[in-house]
Amino acid sequence: MGRKFFVGGNWKCNGTNDEVKKIVSTLNGVEVPSEDVVEIVVSPPFVFLPLVKSLLRSDFQTAAQNCWVRKGGAFTGEVSAEMLVNLGIPWVILGHSERRLLLNESNEFVGDKVTYALSRGLKVIACVGETLEQRESGSTMAVVSQQTKAIADQVSNWTNVVLAYEPVWAIGTGKVATPAQAQEVHSELRKCLQQNVGGEVAASTRIIYGGSVNGANCKELAAQPDIDGFLVGGASLKPEFVDIIKAAT
């Protein structure tokens, strides 16, 4: 089975009501490859999810940027997987490096979150990636394998998981991984899935790249055999997001 190209737009903690409406209206007017060719998901901050969902064209989907690790209750400030399901939000991004590093989310905690979100019926974009220090010390593969294994230890059905390789040194820095650097890690991640989950999951799971992807560098990255799409931050707020979607073809 071929892996359908996947493009996610992570809007992070950005936007006002009016700005969000403007971005959605731009997206609603663009021509993109059909749903058979590319799966497109945008991820606004929690507070804008209902607005975006209500205005967004039906061939684009929505994702939350996080959710709580278990059933809701006395967890002030958190948003539960059940709430997202209740709002009809199909996807959630988990394990983004900004949460791992700024909010100390451990590999195990991210693994627990992925497991719980999947159990509630959400689809998950699970992020892994090494810091610059880790890359320079030669531990890239050890780091991303451990992050992936913490999920694979609990999750055997990966149908609803997209794995996002996002080197921390490339996120929001303008320093994109070279196609060869990204391909090398993606291919190793596929091997990691093969060893820890199985050959079928390794072959069918989409592994997408994130980190300073833009309209100019997306084509070359998309041409790599193990790069199945992108998670896009900064450029997802700009018109060039459409060029990145078109890298699918």
Q: Which residues bind ligand PEP (CB under 6 A)?
A: 10, 166, 171-172, 210-213, 231-235
- Residue 13 or residue 180: which is nearer to ligand PEP going by CB? 13
Q: How far is the CB of 93 from ligand PEP (least distance, A)?
A: 8
Alpha helices by DSSP H, listed for 120-174, are 132-136, 140-152
Residue 52 C-beta-side C-alpha neighbours within 13 Å: 26
What is the phi-psi region of residue 121: left when phi exceeds 0, alpha when psi lies from -120 to 50, beta otherwise?
left
Q: Is 210 in contact with 164 (CB distance < 8 Å)?
A: yes
| Distance in Å, CB of 188 to ligand PEP, minimum | 19
| Annotated catalytic residue, options 96, 98, 130, 186 | 96
- When the beta carbons of 10 and 145 are compared against ligand PEP, the nearer one is 10
CA atoms of 64 and 88, how far apart (whole Å): 11
Q: Which of 105, 130, 166, 186 is catalytic?
A: 166
Looking at the Cβ atoms of 144 and 213, the one nearer to ligand PEP is 213
Nearest residue to ligand PEP, by Cβ distance, number only = 233
CB of residue 3 vs ligand PEP: minimum separation in angstroms? 19
Q: Is residue 110 classed as helix, strand or coil in its secondary structure?
A: helix
Catalytic status, residue 166: yes
User: Which among 139, 115, 137 is positioned nearest to 126, based on CA atoms?
Assistant: 115
Residue 55 CB, shortest distance to ligand PEP, in Å, is: 23
117 versus 171: smaller Cβ distance to ligand PEP:
171
Give the nearer residue to ligand PEP in terms of CB position, either 93 or 192: 93
Rounded to whole angstroms, how far apart are CA atoms 221 and 92?
A: 24
CB of 170 to ligand PEP, least distance (A): 6
Q: Name every residue whose Cβ is closer than 8 Å to that of residue 158 and which is 6 or more positions away in sequence.
A: 193, 197, 201, 204, 205
With 0-12 / 13-18 / 19 or more C-beta atoms within 10 angstroms meaning exposed / middle / buried, residue 238 is middle
φ, ψ dihedrals at 80, nearest 5°: -90, 160
Residues serving a catalytic function are 96, 166
